[in-house]
A and B are shown apart, each in its own frame.
Chain A
Amino acid sequence: MAVIELTGVLKDYTTEAETLHVLKGIDLKIEAGEFVAIMGPSGSGKSTLMNILGCLDVPTDGVYRLAGSSVGELDDSALAGLRNRTLGFVFQGFNLMARSSLEDNVALPLVYAGVSRADRNQRARDMLAKVGLEGYARSLPNRISGGQQQRVAIARALVGQPAVVLADEPTGNLDSTTSAEIMKLFERLNREEGVTLIVVTHEQDIAAWAKRLVLLKDGLIQYDGPIPPEFRRNE
């Protein structure tokens, strides 16, 4: 069964002057264990699609089923619970808590899941080790590099063992060498741990790490299929 299933998803934004049709009918199925890149020019609706996929926003019309739940029918509190249990977020700007240690940062989703303190800390340390940051548990985010910070963010996204990890321009603030390292980490997590990954990017060499490409244009899916051969990984 597909972990993500969008059927005829529409999204309108109504301003005083006009109604904007940002998504005009999206049908998309993503199976567990897939590694999907979403691309599209500015204004194509990829941020809106990402917000809907991330349960931060709900469709105006159509059905979005995430891990069996119909998202449109849930209230704020249930959406928060769904984000907490089934989704992991990785942002362009890392978005770590500046005052908290790396361990506490990684453990934060578990706080909201109600996991006990000892259990939280253990799982956070394990996760930090998995992204290559063992020994940094008590450091603060401003002590480490951007690439390391993004690894912490990935650890935080994975700590709750979510069904899907959503990464919005995860390499946007990183140089190309570090970008490649982050994408390698994603690729390894997908291959070895079976993590379902959706990466939004506007760079072909980042998208090239994925196994499937979804191309958006003007609120519709223009292309959905394997990575085109002209996309080259930046290794």
Chain B
Amino acid sequence: MIGPLIGEALRAMAANRMRSALTMLGMVIGVGAVIMMLAIGKGVEDSVRASIASMGSNLFMVVSGAPQSGGIRMGSGSAPTLTLDDAEALMDLPGVVAVAPSSPGGAQVVVGPTNWSTSVTGTTPGYFTVAEVKFGEGQPFDESDVRGATRVAVIGPSLAENLFGGDSPIGRTIRVNQSPFTVIGVTEPRGQSIDGRDQDDVVIIPVTTAQRQVFGTQVIGSVRFVQVKAEGPEVMERLQGDMETLLRDRHRIRVGQEDDFSVRNMTSIMNAAASTTAAMKLLLGAIASISLIVGGIGIMNIMLVSVTERTREIGIRMAIGARRRDVLWQFLLESIVLSLVGCLIGVLVGVGGARAVANATELKPVVTAGSVMLGFGVAAAIGVFFGFYPARRAASLQPIEALRYQ
């Protein structure tokens, strides 16, 4: 029964090509929009998650600064109040896995005739634990390098590519602001950080070497910020209080006085960012779904017109033996075929649109099988839902009246 009726549906669509095409356009736009919007939302979500993953989990950021200077309040990091000794003291707190005091800066890196401007971070071996850095080649520096302020460097893969092309950089010498460093490790690609910096275009050197030979510093032993990794999410809250107490104590800040540092729970900030992007994805999907519903109403509209136009045909079919459910199925199948064909084209449009967005912008839309299935399922459901009323109307016609209809 269904077989010949699908043929009928296709014939009916072919007979009214322009009308069918315009009706389908509603579904094409609806499904295309859903897939594209979900792809963009997913792309943003993925990049946020990747940044979070590259940053490492259960992380605190302790930033120096926010001191007062004659009544003028300075921003975070504006004064060098944190020291390497502070970092070591933080390491002794229970629940702390690793600390990474850091002095970041920019520098010109030279290898033979090639030079490249990049960011340089002076830090301790704790950094590799905190940031969960994996090594593509070589190895990290260790505590003795920090103590001895040796000239060794770990570099990111894109910097390695820029300076050495395909050659292995291990054991080669690079000049950072004139000082020669030996490359001992290359990290695996880490992608962008949450604030958009390329974490693969970096030089990581012992903090002591950075302070003495690359940047110089206002106060020997001071660092811009300290990253602290906790052993798990359950100790985060307690640890934040412990760290504040410890640092206030060490910095001799009296009760009532403002802190000259701030402790930020990066994980909670990141989670907030992640849930914001999830909400944005949902919103995009919801807006796109409205266009699907509009497309469905377009189908219902056309099917109602079609039922009226073909009243006489329905009468004939009933006269020669079509039962009401045969007529119902005929029109229902027609709207389902309309919406499914529209949906197929919509999937192509959505995927193509996502590609176009990827080419034209910084966004990296991700079309998932789930979103295609969702678009497809919703379109089929809409075909049934909005096709049912017109089909019911066709099936409930009285044969005599339908036959008499001009």
Q: Contact check: which of B1, B323, B400 meets A76 at CB < 8 Å?
A: B323
Contact (Cβ within 8 A) B320 A112: yes
Secondary structure dominating the interface of B = helix
Which of B153-161, B257-265, B310-318 contacts the other chain? B310-318
| A144 located at the interface, meaning its Cβ lies under 8 Å from any Cβ of chain B in the complex | no
Give the distance in Å from the alpha carbon of A95 to the alpha carbon of B403 in the complex. Answer: 9
Is A83 an interface residue, CB under 8 A from the partner?
yes
Segment touching B, from A51-59, A65-73, A169-177: A51-59
Asked whether A80 and B318 contact (CB < 8 A) given A56-B403, A99-B12, the answer is: yes
Specify which chain B residues have a CB less than 8 angstroms from the CB of A56 in the assembled complex.
Answer: 318-319, 399-400, 403
Q: Does B256 contact A (CB under 8 A)?
A: no
Tell me the complex Cα distance, A168–B316, Å. Answer: 13
Which of A80, A95, A111 contacts B4, CB < 8 Å?
A: A111
Q: Which of B307-347 contact A (CB under 8 A)?
A: 312-313, 316-326
CB contacts (< 8 Å) of A24 on chain B: these are none
In contact, A80 and B313 (Cβ under 8 angstroms): no
State the CA gap A109–B321 with chains docked (Å): 6
CB distance from A67 to the nearest CB of B (A): 14
Determine the distance from Cα of A88 to Cα of B319 in the docked complex, in whole angstroms.
9
B370 at the interface (CB under 8 A from A): no
A51 touches B400 (CB 8 A): yes
Shortest Cβ gap from B320 to chain A (Å): 5
Q: B residues within 8 A CB of A88?
A: 320
Q: Bound complex: CA of A111 vs CA of B320, how far in Å?
A: 10
A77→B15 CA distance, assembly (Å): 30
B15 touches A80 (CB 8 A): no
Bound complex: CA A100 to CA B255 (Å): 93
Are A112 and B319 interface neighbours, CB within 8 A?
no
Docked CA distance A133–B319 (Å): 24
> Is the pair A80, B12 in contact by a Cβ cutoff of 8 Å?
no
B319 touches A83 (CB 8 A): yes
Taken together as a complex, chains A and B put the C-alpha atoms of A80 and B323 apart, in Å, by 5
Give the docked Cα–Cα distance between A108 and B4 (Å).
10
Choice from B320, B324, B325 contacting A84 with Cβ under 8 Å:
B320
Question: Which size class do B's interface residues fall under?
Answer: 20 to 34
A117 to B6, CA, bound (A): 14
Q: Report the bound CA distance from A158 to B322 in whole Å.
A: 16
A113-B403 in contact given A99-B11, A99-B15, A100-B11 (Cβ < 8 Å)? no
Complex CA–CA separation, A84 to B399 (angstroms)? 13
Within 8 A of B (CB), among A63-99: 76-77, 80-81, 83-85, 88-89, 91, 95, 97, 99
CA of A44 to CA of B15, assembled, Å:
41
* Contact of A95 with B312 at beta-carbon distance under 8 Å, contacts A56-B399, A100-B11, A117-B3 already known: yes
Q: By the criterion CB–CB under 8 Å, are A95 and B316 in contact?
A: yes
Residue of A nearest to B12 (CB): A99
B residues 230-259 near A (Cβ < 8 Å) are none
Point out the residues of chain A lying under 8 angstroms from B15, CB to CB.
99
* A156 touches B (CB below 8 Å): yes
Residue-by-residue, is A101-118 near B (CB-CB < 8 Å gives 1, otherwise 0)?
000000011011110010
Which of B313, B325, B399: most chain A Cβ within 10 A?
A: B399
Known A-B contacts A51-B400, A56-B400; A108 and B320 likewise in contact (beta carbons under 8 Å): yes
Indicate which residue in A54, A80, A95, A108 contacts B324 across the interface (CB closer than 8 Å): A80
| CB neighbours of B326 from chain A (8 A) | 80, 112
Whether A112 and B400, one on each chain, are in contact in the complex, defined by CB atoms closer than 8 angstroms, is: no
Q: Say yes or no: A80 contacts B316, CB within 8 Å.
A: no
B18 to chain A, nearest CB (A): 16
Report B354-406 residues with CB < 8 Å from chain A CB. Answer: 399-400, 403
Please encode chain B, from 52 to 65, with 1 for each CB lying within 8 Å of some chain A CB and 0 for all others: 00000000000000
Contact of A81 (CB < 8 Å), options: B4, B14, B323: B323
Query: Inside 8 A of A51's CB, which chain B residues have their CB?
Result: 400
Q: A80–B321 contact, CB under 8 A?
A: yes
Q: Which residues of A contact B4 (CB under 8 A)?
A: 111, 117
- Contact (Cβ within 8 A) B1 A57: no
Which residue from chain B places its CB closest to the CB of A95 in the assembled complex? B316
Q: Is the CB of A83 within 8 A of B400?
A: no
Closest to B327 in A: A80
Q: Is the CB of A108 within 8 A of B399?
A: no
Q: Write out the residue numbers on chain A whose beta carbons fall within 8 Å of the beta carbon of B319.
A: 54, 56, 83, 89
25 contacts between A and B (CB under 8 A): A54-B319, A56-B318, A57-B400, A76-B323, A77-B323, A77-B324, A77-B325, A80-B323, A83-B319, A84-B320, A88-B320, A89-B319, A89-B320, A97-B313, A99-B12, A100-B11, A108-B317, A108-B320, A109-B321, A111-B1, A111-B4, A112-B317, A112-B320, A112-B323, A117-B4
Inter-chain pairs besides A77-B325, A80-B322, A85-B321, 11 sampled, C-beta below 8 Å: A54-B319, A56-B318, A76-B323, A77-B324, A80-B321, A84-B320, A91-B316, A99-B14, A111-B4, A112-B321, A160-B321
**B interface, CB within 8 angstroms of A:** 1, 3-4, 11-12, 14-15, 312-313, 316-326, 399-400, 403
